[in-house]
Amino acid sequence: ARRAAARGAAQAAPDAETLAAPAAIVNEVKKSKFVATAAPVASVDEARELIAMVSEPDASHNCWAYRLERGAVAKASDDGEPGGTAGRPILAAIEASGLDAVCVVVTRFYGGVKLGAGGLARAYGGAASDALKAGERLAVPTMQAGALRGFEARDLGAVYSALAQCEGARKLADEDYAADGTVSLAVEVHASRFD
């Protein structure tokens, strides 16, 4: 009975963490300079904007990775470095940090000494890890979708007022009016509101 009770108890996932603000570091490895910038991003579009903004046109390579939605969305680029030697190590550093909703760009200025595949992976992954560690962490509330069903249309204003009081809450779709005069509304709120 004890095991069944534990299985049946719904628990909200813990809040994820991201960076509170961008963080940057510079590492030098065998005369090559690796400039790593890590920053919080809320969407793929924000990640692309960061990549475009931080990338240096005169650099040898601008490699990057981002992770969103608890890893459901993740992408990496080697930007011309040998396959798997830059983007994947950057993404691995993000995953190892436990952070989400974050993008890391590592720009390499070639110093004349080849690092080899292992050396590149260590340099890119290390720079990404250092930038992520340099940043301050910030909790990101875990959001959960739900529905408010069967309330009277006259109470719609009060429902929206209550929704506005919940930090980060939002309406997911237009109101659904039933034939009996009641209203339903799809919303997204902090998972703790479902406890």
How do residues 23-79 score in pLDDT, each as one tens digit? Answer: 999 999 999 999 999 999 989 999 999 999 999 999 999 999 999 987 788 999 999
Please give the pLDDT value at position 158: 85
How many domains does the chain divide into?
A: 2
Q: Does 183 lie in the same domain as 134?
A: no
The model's confidence at residue 182, banded by pLDDT at 50, 70 and 90, is confident
- Evaluate whether 54 touches 90 at the Cβ level (below 8 Å): no
**Which stretches of 47-91 are assigned E, i.e. beta strand?**
61-68, 73-77
Q: Does 99 lie in the same domain as 21?
A: yes
Q: Does 161 lie in the same domain as 122?
A: no
Residue 126 has pLDDT above 60, yes or no: yes
Neighbours of 49 (CB within 10 A): 14
Whether 6 maps to a domain, the answer reads no
The model's confidence at residue 193, banded by pLDDT at 50, 70 and 90, is low
Residue reference for tokens 């240096």: 56
Q: Does 64 lie in the same domain as 37?
A: yes
DSSP 8-state assignment for residue 85: S
Instruction: For the full predicted model, state whether its pTM sits above 0.85.
Output: no
The model's confidence at residue 11, banded by pLDDT at 50, 70 and 90, is very low
Whether 4 maps to a domain, the answer reads no
130's tokens: 């250092």
Residue 14 has pLDDT above 70, yes or no: no
Instruction: Determine what percent of the chain is predicted with pLDDT higher than 70.
Output: 81
Residue 190 has pLDDT above 50, yes or no: yes
Q: What is the mean pLDDT of residues 163-184?
A: 75
The model's confidence at residue 7, banded by pLDDT at 50, 70 and 90, is very low
Please give the pLDDT value at position 172: 64
* Structural domain boundaries, residue 79: 16-139
Q: How many CA atoms lie within 13 A of 190 on its CB side?
A: 14
